[in-house]
A and B are shown apart, each in its own frame.
Chain A
Amino acid sequence: MYIELHARSAFSFLEGSSQPEELIDACAAMELPAMALLDRDGVYGAPRFHHAAKKKGVRAHIGAEVTVDCSRAAARYPLLAASRTGYQNLCRLITRMKMRAPKNAPPEEYAVAPEVVREYAHGLICLTGGEEGPLAAALQRGGIIRGEECVRELRDIFGRDNVYVELQRHFTRREEARNHAAVQIARKLGLPLLATGGVAYATPAARQVLDVFTCIRHHRTLETAGRLLQRNSERHVKSAQEMAQMFADFPGAIANTGELSARLQFTLADLGYEFPRYPAPPPHTPATFLRELARAGMIHRYGAQNERARQQVERELALIEKLQLEGYFLIVWDIVRMCREQNILVQGRGSAANSAVCYSLGITAVDPVGMELLFERFLSEERGEWPDIDLDLPSGDQRERAIQYVYERYGRLGAAMTANVITYRGRSAAREVGKALGFDGEMLDRLSKFVSRWEFRDSGDTLQRNFRDAGLDLSHPRIRKFFELCQQLQDLPRHLGQHSGGMVVCQGQLDSVVPLEPATMPGRVVIQWDKEDCADMGIIKVDLLGLGMMAALEESIQLIRAHHGDEVDLAHLPPDDPLVYDALCRADTVGMFQVESRAQMSCLPRLRPRKFYDIVVQVAIIRPGPIVGKMVNPYLRRRMGREPVDALHPMLEPVLRRTLGVPLFQEQLLRIAMIAANFSGGEAEELRRAMGFKRSEKRMREIEVRLREGMTHNGIDQAAQERIVAAISSFALYGFPESHAASFALIAYASGWLKCHYLAAFTAALLNNQPMGFYAPHTIVKDAQLHGLKVLPIDVTRSEWFCTLERPIENAGSHAMRLGMRYAKGLRETTARAIVRERERAPFAAIEDLKQRLPDIQKDELALLAEIGALNSVEQVFQPVPLDHGRKTATLHRRSALWQVARAARPAGPLLDDKADQRRKEKDGRRDAEEAEERSVKKEECKEESPLLPMTAEERLVADFHGMGLTTGPHPMRYRRQEMNALGVTPASHLRRRPDGSNVRIAGGVIARQRPGTAKGFLFLSLEDETGISNAIVTPDIYDHNRTVVVAHQFLLVEGTLQNLDGVISVRAKRVLPLEITQAQTTSHDFH
């Protein structure tokens, strides 16, 4: 019997080229009963290895190659976890090693000393390693004498029984020489030999990928990598027979693999993870403390007399106590409490909103009792899984404060972020492989451009086609190889990132469960497993998610407080504000949370929300589940009274009443199973999961049998059973939890209310928290302007770094929004803040003055500010003399500023620089009056006529989009409206008046292109003109014929048939033509 005890996967990041599952597959194919995964300095791939092995009936041993400093050279100790203690020691050892140096430090910086290894040696078995192992390093350094010393040291560290002298054979002379020495040393020291494969990939073919990885790692090409590449393709998984034949001269080395495997008792099933117990204040236990908090909260939320709520809370508390989850709820409550104390907006989302306890504790904001939400969706006894509570926090600093609080509360080694394994995808794979093959950057850029970003991929939208579109001939052998390698690289791990919000905490030390490492972001620690791995391993996590809209809401409130003097409490907004619902019915929702996308907008006029629950439905209905399950149109028809409301069965009428007989939410699915087939809550949740993403045919069949049995028992006829089963199976895949939709709907309503009542503040907050949402800033600005907001341009004498509110003199009634300097692309924040600081000290007399007072401002920054007109208000720029027309104008203009900037930014030379410096020094000691006098003199001195012509409207547009990505001036289409009229183009706002079915032409700048996976290849275009947004639908064949025009041009004219039904307006394209409107580089939000 042979067991492969030294294998590494692609989770050794660029040093292995097979997924853990592929290793297990190869192992199973070779009929090896067990295998050990020893990735480099980590157990990154261990959960996937463990689960794959479990499925295939293979035993998965866990270990790692740990980098150790051996006489100032790094060697890798292959360590296997024999017991849970051994595994915990391994994790701690790796954590200690990783935390020594910053992320991505070279091995020699983070390698640990052998003395440190000694501290964590208990429970670990050490092999002497292959070419990177300690024995090879010692032999290289000092021959067999040093080799023997090295093995002796290992024996001292790990104990006589825990060191195996490793033999590997990859048909190389150097390795064979090492083997001879290893055998001698093993015999002399009485240590057992162990044959291993030193596996780095599952099959010989994967060696090519490893060579490419080597090139990526060393920044070489395959041509220049030389002997860094693999010598041969022998590091694949081999059968017991092959290994026995290869080690026929050392049969003991093969036999020992079986014996050692038997000694390795640890598997990941024995992880020993324990969620921390919350330190309840005496005399409370966590259970009593939670009970007290929940009851108090329940009374606060529902009042003392609400019996239904009381019963629900009691029922939930009983289950929580039974499952011993009090600690978890208290920890989440603690985070929420801290956020409230610190004035950080926080709201639970996801299935937690089904829990009355969560609502009572203030974790969630949706009333599950009032909305009759199903608790079992959140937590059930049968499921045996941890509940999942996600908290939405304002993105940015506020969220970081919450994260840092968790670290402080549970210690740096008790809490960490979950990882996010970044894998090679189409573009990254093409780029890296292309570089390795020595292709030039221009060609790789071209290829990257063509690799599809659409969600929908038609059968022809393959990597093969991307190659052809990029002009790469697949019949050429090198291009063919390029293509093949790109495919092989897909989904292989590239590096470890940080999950956006998942945090795990642990009772005791988290570093004994999984190794921790520093994240790129200072103050963050990340574990080696991703979110899925954590869930699979039963590690509980709290998601602290940054939500841009939460930050925007919070900032809106602050701006309203500062500029309007009003105090807005999101928890107590007027519940049924007609302005909000009117806007929703008009699909006037740009900037509103969750209801602003083109698809949402096309549904809103039909759904016509008039109460909060309508928004909940609206948020949930434009999702893949209802769309794929064909639920959308029946619901809308029934809502408009065009179709009778019909529940699947009379029994289900109470469940489906609110959604007019159409199942839209996961909770409804669960309730259907519970009512129709007498499933318990847990069984129903099991049903949902069985039919969810990871659906298993076998499990589905089993559950369906039970479902039908239950329905038959309840007297549901066969036809109704079929309808119910069909509804469940088509919907379960993508269903959306009602609780989650309700949480989002609250935010959506709040955003709508703020937009309707405090447009200036809301727009400023939206712009200050970009990127977020569906639309680019220029569309948000244009929409706000259409709603009457005056948007003021960037001005160095007025603008802050962020967008702010101003009350213009000429328009005293309402606030205007001043664009912040953060929208000047290329202007550093430090420069912007220095400008603000200096102008507060004294106004700028001239650009020259600004330059002198801001010595760190760069030439490009000054030019940028001039280009976008931000210097127009600096007093000195006001006397342009046109070049050739002889007429004078007193209008301020950007070119005058550019003319001044060119002189001010030019180095004056050492002599004059010294003078300026001296002036500055002198100035520091003078009084303000003297300074003012000096500025006045300077202003006169600097008066110099600019010979440049003012920018034309087109030039200003180009400058605005180049410098800010938006314009506060008229929309580009407004300048061309006459031409558009001549072409018979209908403005967006006039489409509503045209009859359904008429032929129309629409034109505008593309603000969104979408090809959703659920739309069967249809492409949706949103075109913006000066009157609003129009939508076009491009069929797959029209798209195919106009692919370049549709994708590459920013301004389009679409000719087609108008669809104007129920207030939903779109044009079904027959022709798509490019338009030359402006040279300005506008942007669009593409490819969702």
Chain B
Amino acid sequence: MRYAAIYAPDFPVQAVLRAEPELRTFAVAIVDGAPPQETLCAMNEIARRSGVQMGMPRSLLEQCSSLLLRRRSPQLETAAHAAMVAAARECSPRVEETAADTLVLDLAGLEQLFGPPQQIATALMQRITKLDLEARVAVAANPDAAIAAARGFAGVTVIPCGGEAETLGVLPVAALAGLAGDCVTPEILETLGLWGIRDFRSLAALPTAQLSERLGQAGVRLQRLARGAHTRGLLCPDDAPQFSETMELECAVEELEPLAFILNRLLQDICTRLESHALSTNELHLRFTLDVNAAGDAAPAVRATSAVAASFTSPSGSSKLAAKDGEFRLAAAKTTYDKALRLPVPMRDPALLLSLLRLHLAAYPPRAPIVKVTLTAIPAHGRTVQTGFFTPLSPDAQKLEVTLARIAGIVGASNVGAAELLDSHRPEAFQVSHFAAPAFRPASPTVTASAAATTSALRVYRPPLRAAVELRSGAPARISFGGLRGAVRAASGPWRSSGNWWQEEGWQHDVWDIEIELPAPAASGNKRESVRHMHIHENPAHTETRNFPLRVAERKAAGFYRIYLDRAAGEWFVRGEYD
């Protein structure tokens, strides 16, 4: 058995340099992390020579004038990785994606096709080089020895059978961390350091039985790795059960109905397989390959102006390079459409899943005709529920999800869900979270009593209405908003709040509760027409209106409103109306 490992050093930098090849002659450093806490995570050799070190903060790096800084780009890394995988698959059907920068290929039987291992390794190297990536390739009798050699030695390394221990002997012990991460604890590394074990050779030479007495099986495993004698199978995605179906279409599909027909077929197959494994799915991934040339306005015209750009186009067609003013950058146009549909409960009913996919596609249609469909289900164990005898039936979770998807299709996904109050003094501070049927709880007498004590509620205008307010002695005297205009009969306030001062979106509000004289009936009608906002009832427990000094008994003769002055902006708004 022979295995080849491909390793791309400084991978985050290489991924960026693929997109900006003109930077190859410069010192380039990649920073990662959320601003303002970005730190150096990778650099090229030129940058390394300039003295910068991993973990340095961005502002310090910016002081090095010769250094070019780029943010880490997961997209570019994914693209580079995909390109490497594709190149590897051209050689071998069995490829292990060990890490973003490391692949291992099973070379069994390939000698007949491509020649001896040296030739295969060289060919692999050439393929990767063509992708504009610098790589190291090593061939060994087992995957881990190949990985260790690829990471440890530049260029192409072919270890003759039985020569693993000899070849790998010079590698530092720390290199084991990349091979057996779970075994290589800081404690073990420290112990080995104290023993003076600096390289694979020293570790390999220790008596195994005595090593086992001291470091246990972890030590023995590390020694096998150091000797290049650790054998294991490749972890190829194909080895795990796959719930994915792909269909290439002779004619591009533009309509939802024929697409639904295709999806239905794929779903039937996937669900049958899921059932045979006693599994369901809680996540569906949909990928369409689009015919961008057929949709004139769907994507900007892309012109590959160099061999680099042309070769960068991956077989999956996920991205392309575009040339603009002599500068390469990742093209905005996408030739694939990717969507993930996350489900609240695991399910495997194809009809239900199809409904959800249809609703989803109706809300987010692809921008070009589809020539290939791939549907992947992420397997999950099905839900088991025991209902209680006295528990009222709640809506079926699966149907509820379909209903929510329908509503989301109409109002937008961000506008559907359950309002959840935030712990903040900021008025109206809430977020929309995913709606789930509330769990049954017996009615609490306390809650009932509290609800009974409530005498008023506030209908909140969202967004608030802009208002013009005249002040007298610091209190509102007249107000006009939404076509209404009137004198303030009574005002209570200001109730002052401010917060988030540490952010740019800090707020300062002076809130007033006011009673205004109701306008004439005709005007009232106008008001109702003009105020076209969604009204929701606030939970009385959170409105703090029980102590409101105005008496609700008067509301027939007057209108009661909550208004506020945004002190930062100096503008008045009406937040809502008391019932």
* CB-defined contacts of B210 to chain A, threshold 8 Å: 899, 903, 944, 947
The reply to whether B59 and A472 form a contact with Cβ atoms under 8 Å apart is yes
Which of A176, A439, A883 contacts B202, CB < 8 Å? A883
A470-B57, A902-B214 are known contacts. Are A229 and B499 too (CB-CB below 8 A)? yes
Which of B57, B194, B496, B544 contacts A471, CB < 8 Å? B57
* CB-defined contacts of B214 to chain A, threshold 8 Å: 899, 902-903, 906
A948, closest chain B residue (CB): B195
Question: Which B495-515 residues have a C-beta within 8 angstroms of A?
Answer: 495-499, 501-504, 508, 510
Q: Does A180 make an interface contact (CB < 8 A)?
A: yes
A222-B502, A884-B205, A895-B195 are known contacts. Are A232 and B547 too (CB-CB below 8 A)? no
A947-B205, A947-B210, A955-B196 are known contacts. Are A173 and B547 too (CB-CB below 8 A)? yes
> Which of B35, B197, B202, B502 is the most central at the interface, judged by chain A CB atoms within 10 Å of its CB?
B502
A177-B547, A863-B194, A902-B215 are known contacts. Are A233 and B498 too (CB-CB below 8 A)? yes
Cβ proximity bits B456-498 to A, threshold 8 Å, 1 near / 0 not:
0000000000000000000000000000000000000111111
- Tell me the bound Cα distance from A790 to B207 in angstroms: 39
* CB-defined contacts of A170 to chain B, threshold 8 Å: 496
- Tell me the bound Cα distance from A172 to B498 in angstroms: 12
The reply to whether B213 and A906 form a contact with Cβ atoms under 8 Å apart is yes
* CB-defined contacts of A15 to chain B, threshold 8 Å: none
A173-B547, A477-B504, A898-B195 are known contacts. Are A226 and B36 too (CB-CB below 8 A)? no
Q: Does B60 make an interface contact (CB < 8 A)?
A: yes
The reply to whether A226 and B424 form a contact with Cβ atoms under 8 Å apart is yes
Question: Which A161-197 residues have a C-beta within 8 angstroms of B?
Answer: 170-174, 176-177, 180
The reply to whether B213 and A947 form a contact with Cβ atoms under 8 Å apart is no
A446, closest chain B residue (CB): B57
The reply to whether B213 and A949 form a contact with Cβ atoms under 8 Å apart is no
The reply to whether A176 and B191 form a contact with Cβ atoms under 8 Å apart is no
Q: Does A479 make an interface contact (CB < 8 A)?
A: yes
B546 to chain A, nearest CB (A): 8
B191 to chain A, nearest CB (A): 7
Which of A222, A232, A476, A951 contacts B196, CB < 8 Å? A951
Question: Which A193-247 residues have a C-beta within 8 angstroms of B?
Answer: 208, 211, 222, 224, 226-227, 229, 231-234
- Tell me the bound Cα distance from A231 to B510 in angstroms: 12
The reply to whether A437 and B547 form a contact with Cβ atoms under 8 Å apart is no
The reply to whether A227 and B58 form a contact with Cβ atoms under 8 Å apart is no
The reply to whether A171 and B494 form a contact with Cβ atoms under 8 Å apart is yes
Question: Which A872-905 residues have a C-beta within 8 angstroms of B?
Answer: 883-884, 895, 898-899, 902-903
Q: Does A341 make an interface contact (CB < 8 A)?
A: no
Q: Does B206 make an interface contact (CB < 8 A)?
A: yes
Cβ proximity bits A410-444 to B, threshold 8 Å, 1 near / 0 not:
00000000000000000000000000010110110
Q: Does A576 make an interface contact (CB < 8 A)?
A: no
The reply to whether B425 and A439 form a contact with Cβ atoms under 8 Å apart is no
Q: Does B239 make an interface contact (CB < 8 A)?
A: no
The reply to whether A471 and B59 form a contact with Cβ atoms under 8 Å apart is yes
Which of B57, B425, B495 contacts A227, CB < 8 Å? B425
The reply to whether B425 and A229 form a contact with Cβ atoms under 8 Å apart is yes
Q: Does B180 make an interface contact (CB < 8 A)?
A: no
Which of A171, A226, A902 contacts B422, CB < 8 Å? A226
A174, closest chain B residue (CB): B544
Q: Does A315 make an interface contact (CB < 8 A)?
A: no
Q: Does B216 make an interface contact (CB < 8 A)?
A: yes
B57, closest chain A residue (CB): A471
The reply to whether B194 and A898 form a contact with Cβ atoms under 8 Å apart is yes
* CB-defined contacts of B499 to chain A, threshold 8 Å: 229, 231
Q: Does B56 make an interface contact (CB < 8 A)?
A: yes
The reply to whether A231 and B423 form a contact with Cβ atoms under 8 Å apart is no
A172-B495, A471-B57, A902-B191 are known contacts. Are A226 and B196 too (CB-CB below 8 A)? no
B473 to chain A, nearest CB (A): 9
Cβ proximity bits B423-460 to A, threshold 8 Å, 1 near / 0 not:
11100000000000000000000000000000000000
Question: Which A826-872 residues have a C-beta within 8 angstroms of B?
Answer: 863, 867
> Which of B194, B196, B425, B493 is the most central at the interface, judged by chain A CB atoms within 10 Å of its CB?
B194
The reply to whether A472 and B36 form a contact with Cβ atoms under 8 Å apart is yes
Q: Does B37 make an interface contact (CB < 8 A)?
A: yes
Cβ proximity bits B54-79 to A, threshold 8 Å, 1 near / 0 not:
01111110000000000000000000
* CB-defined contacts of A895 to chain B, threshold 8 Å: 194-196
* CB-defined contacts of B59 to chain A, threshold 8 Å: 468, 471-473
Question: Which B53-111 residues have a C-beta within 8 angstroms of A?
Answer: 55-60
A222-B502, A906-B214, A947-B210 are known contacts. Are A472 and B196 too (CB-CB below 8 A)? no
A470-B57, A902-B191 are known contacts. Are A440 and B37 too (CB-CB below 8 A)? yes
The reply to whether A171 and B195 form a contact with Cβ atoms under 8 Å apart is no
* CB-defined contacts of A442 to chain B, threshold 8 Å: 39, 55
Cβ proximity bits B408-432 to A, threshold 8 Å, 1 near / 0 not:
0000000000000011110000000
- Tell me the bound Cα distance from A229 to B216 in angstroms: 53
Cβ proximity bits B35-51 to A, threshold 8 Å, 1 near / 0 not:
11101000000000000
Q: Does A478 make an interface contact (CB < 8 A)?
A: yes
Q: Does A481 make an interface contact (CB < 8 A)?
A: yes
B214, closest chain A residue (CB): A902
- Tell me the bound Cα distance from A476 to B501 in angstroms: 15
A851 to chain B, nearest CB (A): 13
Which 4 pairs between the two chains have the least Cβ-Cβ distance? A471-B57, A226-B423, A171-B496, A177-B547
Further 4 A-B residue pairs, CB within 8 A, beyond A171-B493, A863-B191: A172-B495, A208-B501, A473-B58, A948-B195
What are 26 A-to-B residue pairs whose CB atoms are below 8 Å?
A171-B495, A172-B495, A172-B496, A173-B547, A174-B547, A177-B547, A227-B425, A231-B497, A231-B498, A232-B425, A232-B497, A437-B502, A440-B37, A471-B58, A472-B57, A477-B504, A481-B502, A883-B205, A895-B196, A899-B195, A902-B213, A902-B214, A906-B216, A947-B207, A948-B197, A959-B194
